[in-house]
Amino acid sequence: MGTEVKVPALGESITEATLGAWLKKPGDAVAVDEPVASLETDKVSVDVPSPVAGVFGEAMVAEGDTVNVGAVIATIGEGSGAAAASAAQAPEPTIPAPAAAKGGDISDEQAQALRLSPSVRRAVQESGVDPAGLTGSGKDGRLTKEDVAKAKSSPAPAAAAPAAAPAQASTPAAPKGERGEERVKMTRLRQTIATRLKDAQNTAALLTTFNDVDMTEVIAARTRYKDLFEKKHGIRLGFMGFFTKAVALAARDVPAVNARIEGDEIVYHNYLDVSVAVSAPKGLVVPVVRSADQMSFAEIEQAIAGFGKKAKDGTLTADDMKGGTFTISNGGVFGSLLSTPIINPPQSAVLGLHRIEERPVVKDGQIVARPMMYVALSYDHRLIDGREAVTFLVRVKEAIEDPTRLLIDL
């Protein structure tokens, strides 16, 4: 029968997952600890490693199935030397270009041969790009959504233009103006995001207050020290370090924003664990920078950059996103001017950052252009009063407009 491949422990309180994609197919050579499948949990994607070296045998569940921790999902047969090498070196079957019919869907067989994850498969379907001709930049050479997007935006080689796949030639084009629709099952992560956000609206008394911040001094500081900072620490100096430090300073004056409601009690934290919203291929995730109030600018920027890379590679763990006492969400990187962010339960507040743009403001009686940013604090009004919310945002504004306050603890 071979060695069983079981669903590994997925983190505290996580008992099941969805089989997102098979990374191996029957007959493939497998090394010990090499990923054979990708699981989607409520929080992250997790690769399932092979417990032994050998040849991939039988896949016992299908993509999209729900599996419990400890369940057997595949077998690894014995095989080494010539057998494993033969399986590893066997040429892949010739894969035709994606069919244009039915909105450009690629077949399940083709997707399996290319080992596409569900999100990448959908990107291929929507773009019409031929995945067989792409080189993957992801883990173990797997295709990523970025690879597909890059291929779509790049012009095709002139020599390839006359060639057309048989499937495309034999399939009539859809009538002009035809209206269609596509149904795609929500990933487990997306389902969890939807549930948690709706729970936040149903449970908390949500309210948002706004302010605007003059970014002149922070921009000047970054310009003045960015080269020295990168040379010393090996990472760029961004805005998140300034805002994280400003939040830590403001939370000392308004501790309720860093607290939570538990039953009929308020739990105050004497530490600041900042959940930083990061965009990942399968949705927004919020890894946690722990004890951020005790960290230097460099440590904060390094932690956030590390999470960003792990999110892109799909290697974030459940522990990376466990806990968190306050959230900072930067919609400005996508061009957002203003928004009302939703809190991340059981937290009681979230700070939303937005894009920086020059706007006319009055300084010393003169109308001048300044790089301004709107900031928004959404909070649970059951715990945080309006006066406290406004005070908190004013403290953040003061610290950003005069960064010296961050150094002398004012």
Comparing 36-45, 48-57, 100-109, 250-259, the range with the smallest average pLDDT is 100-109
Q: Two tokens at 61?
A: 């569940």
Q: Tokens at residue 210, please?
A: 């706004």
User: What confidence tier does 231 reach under pLDDT thresholds 50, 70, 90?
Assistant: very high
CA dist., res. 310 & res. 314, Å (int) = 6
Active site residue 320: no
More confident residue, 118 or 63: 63
pLDDT band at 80 (very low <50, low <70, confident <90, very high): low
Q: Is the pLDDT of residue 83 over 50?
A: no
CA torsion, points 53, 56, 59, 65, in degrees to nearest 10?
A: 60
Q: Is the pLDDT confidence value at 48 over 60?
A: yes
Mean pLDDT computed over 89-102:
39
Would you place residue 208 in the very low, low, confident or very high pLDDT band (cuts 50, 70, 90)? very high
Q: Is the pLDDT assigned to residue 261 strictly greater than 60?
A: yes
pLDDT per position as a tens digit, 310-333: 888 878 887 888 889 999 999 888
Question: Which range, 111-115, 174-178, 274-278, is most confident?
Answer: 274-278
The domain segmentation of the chain, as residue ranges, is 3-89, 101-165, 188-408
Q: pLDDT class for 100, splitting at 50, 70, 90? A: very low
Which is the catalytic residue, given 33, 319, 385, 402? 385
Task: Please report which helix (H) or strand (E) contains residue 22, including its range.
Answer: strand 16-22
3-89: in CATH 3.40.47.10: no
Check if 381 is active-site. Answer: yes
169, pLDDT greater than 70:
no
Whether the per-residue pLDDT at 245 is higher than 80: the answer is yes
Active-site choice (233, 269, 313, 381): 381
Contact in structure between 293 and 243 (CB atoms under 8 Å): no
Quote the percentage of the chain above a pLDDT of 90.
37
Question: What is the spatial distance between Cα 113 and Cα 95, in angstroms, rounded to a whole number?
Answer: 8
Q: Do domains 3-89 and 188-408 have the same CATH topology?
A: no
Span 190-208, average pLDDT: 85
SS3 177: coil
pLDDT at 181 over 80: yes
Q: What is the CATH number of domain 188-408?
A: 3.30.559.10
- Residues 69 and 48: their CA atoms lie apart, in Å, by 11
- Alpha carbons 37 and 24: distance in angstroms, whole number: 7
Higher local confidence (pLDDT), 80 or 302:
302
Q: Which residue has the tokens 């370090």?
A: 241
Average pLDDT, the chain: 81
What is each CA distance from 176 to 156, 173, 183, in whole angstroms?
A: 25, 8, 21
pLDDT per residue over 125-168, tens digit each? 667 777 777 777 765 677 777 777 777 766 554 444 444 444 44
pLDDT at position 290 over 50? yes
Q: Is the pTM of this model over 0.85?
A: no
Beta-carbon contacts of residue 91 (< 8 Å; ≥ 6 apart): none
Q: Long-range contacts: 383-388, Cβ < 8 Å, 24+?
A: 383/256, 383/259, 383/260, 383/261, 383/266, 383/348, 384/254, 384/256, 384/257, 384/348, 384/349, 385/256, 386/207, 386/209, 388/254, 388/256, 388/257
